[in-house]
Amino acid sequence: MHSGGIRGVVGVLLLLMAPLAGCLGDAVDDLVPERKGIPGGLTLACLQDDRFTSMVVEIDYEAGYKPLTSSTDMLLERLESVCAKPNGITLEFEEVTFDVEGAWSDTDVRTQAWASKSGDVQDGDVLRWQLIFPEGEYDQDGVLGVAVDASSVALFGDTIQDADGPFGRPSVEDVENSVIVHEVGHLLGLVNLVYTSPVDHEDDEHPGHSSNDDSVMYWAVNSADLANVFFSSLPNEFDNDDLNDLAGLADGSIAATDQLWT
């Protein structure tokens, strides 16, 4: 299923009419048994090294859904460029089987992610974030990935496979590269999820996303119709406003809310 022609145009319009649909899961009341937080709730835990000096990014995938090395390498590079982890950031891969029939809800993502975490999210001086790559699609059409709490993200490979552009521009690999950075950008609190930026760069129509289509945090990076928005090349980097927000959070000049560890 390539996006294009009338179907693609309809898809874009539907997305424009449903600005809240997308890649930020509904918040839940999760005080017991363990606080899971909201996306961005472990931003300072990554950006600062006061408590966590190293970090594990756990990547749990179903058979056939392992992300490309270029995607996870890019993710590592982006995290290393913004997070203070003197003892390093490690990727941990595991093939798993999830227990979900049909489309995935936010609750499914949260439940399956937490059931498959290989360690505590906050384990001594080690911070653990997790990306799951399940078979199947999200219960909202055309969503490529979702961030559901402070440590858990899902990317939907079946939807990503169909989101490439005509003649593979952008390619499936380009799409996966960008979406993996985008979703982890939400775990970093972008845009305005757990702070208020001194610069107005949040898209009014798509809360939590950048208004700059050169930023990986632009809303359409999460959409199966992204090939219609970007035509050939996709952003896969944080822009200067994103980076300045992260730097301000890291040095304390921008106040962070909803942090799980303070």
Answer for which of 23, 82, 163, 234 binds Zn ion (CB under 5 A) is 23
Smallest distance, Zn ion to C-beta of residue 154, A: 12
Size of the site for Zn ion (CB under 5 A): 2
Smallest distance, Zn ion to C-beta of residue 186, A: 6
Q: Rounded distance, CA 225 to CA 11, Å?
A: 7
Helix (H, G, I), strand (E, B) or coil at 183: helix
Please identify the residue of the shown chain whose CB is closest to the bound Zn ion: 23
The number of CA neighbours under 13 Å toward the Cβ of 10 is 4
* Closest CB to Zn ion among residues 112, 222: 222
Peptide bond into 126 cis (omega under 30): no
Q: Which range binds Zn ion by CB under 5 A, 16-24, 94-102, 124-132, 231-239?
A: 16-24
* Closest CB to Zn ion among residues 49, 241: 241
Residues 21 and 143 sit within 8 Å (Cβ to Cβ): yes
Smallest distance, Zn ion to C-beta of residue 49, A: 27
Smallest distance, Zn ion to C-beta of residue 36, A: 18
Q: Rounded distance, CA 114 to CA 204, Å?
A: 32
Smallest distance, Zn ion to C-beta of residue 177, A: 15
Q: Rounded distance, CA 77 to CA 188, Å?
A: 14
Q: Rounded distance, CA 141 to CA 159, Å?
A: 9
Helix (H, G, I), strand (E, B) or coil at 59: strand
* Closest CB to Zn ion among residues 23, 127: 23
Answer for which of 159, 222, 228, 236 binds Zn ion (CB under 5 A) is 222
Q: Which range binds Zn ion by CB under 5 A, 63-71, 89-97, 214-222, 231-239?
A: 214-222
> Which residues share a beta bridge with 61?
95, 133
Residues binding Zn ion (CB under 5 A)? 23, 222
